[in-house]
Amino acid sequence: MKDGERLKAIVLRRTDYAEADRVLQLLTPQGRRAVIAKEVRRERSKLAGGIELLALCDVVIRSGRGELGLLTSARLSAFYRHILEDYERMRFAYQALKLVAQATETVDGPEWFAVLSQVLAWLDRPAVDRLLVETWFYMQYAGLLGDELNLRTDVAGRTLTSDKSYMYDPSEKALRPSEQGDLTADHIKLLRLIQAKPLENLTHIGGLGPVIASCWLVTRQHAAV
């Protein structure tokens, strides 16, 4: 396109380059893009305000030299400022950016944008349980890397049942029956919902307090982060 390609984007990584440029790793609905923002570190740059981290951006990218595109326009569509007001939310948000940046170096695709855009938007809402957002991210992250958590059978291939308790076995990356296990039928039901539903649908579920912490731990262990 002569005028450039217009895309929604999330900035995954920014690297200073030369005297005043920046190389950006962008996540878009069409996959990951590497671009250079010329003169963006100059005081009067029109691009600078449109490439913030923890934001949804509208960008225009033209073909550049080699693999780097040329960023010609950028403006903020949404800035998730409430994330910055809570240390734990901010810590996790930056971790999510880092994990997605690493993952898309080998496994790229539009699904990553769908996941990360939901995570940032709901993490920005203080009333939404942070552990729910994190649990959903870890579940989707593992699935997109081809390592979906098995919530149908245990380590021996037996169907999970509601009358047993389970524990997560990191060496087998599966659930193991255990009388001391803290995963009950309620945990497994919630984990299945988290695996299958968009984050927006899950934010309406009440009474997560007694079960969400254990679900969070399982998905974090399974994602190996």
**What's the pLDDT band for 65 if we cut at 50, 70, 90?**
confident
Q: Count the domains in the chain.
A: 2
- The CATH number of the domain holding residue 125 is 1.20.1440.120
| 55 & 135 share domain | no
Pair 101, 29 in one domain: no
* Domain around 33: 5-80
For residue 225, pLDDT beyond 90: no
Q: Is the pTM of this model over 0.85?
A: yes
Express each pLDDT in 145-182 by its tens digit: 999 999 999 999 999 999 999 999 999 999 999 999 99
Helix, strand or coil, per DSSP, at residue 14: strand
Pick the last residue of a domain from 57, 80, 103: 80
Q: How far is CA 63 from CA 7, 20, 44, 73, in A?
A: 14, 20, 24, 13
My answer on whether 51 and 95 are in the same domain is no
Q: Is the dihedral of CA 178, 182, 184, 190 positive or negative?
A: negative
Instruction: Determine contact, residues 222/173, Cβ cutoff 8 Å.
Output: yes
The stretch 185-211 carries a mean pLDDT of: 95
CATH number at residue 76: 2.40.50.140
112 with 35, same domain: the answer is no
User: What pLDDT does residue 2 have?
Assistant: 58
Q: Which amino acid is at 40?
A: V
119 and 211 in a single domain? The answer is yes
Question: Are 96 and 165 part of one and the same domain?
Answer: yes
End-to-end CA distance of the chain: 40
| Domain identity same for 93 and 111 | yes
Are the C-beta atoms of 135 and 141 separated by less than 8 Å?
Answer: no
Convert the pLDDT of each residue in 106-132 to its tens digit.
999 999 999 999 999 999 999 999 999
pLDDT tens digits, 1-35: 457 899 999 999 999 998 999 999 999 999 999 99
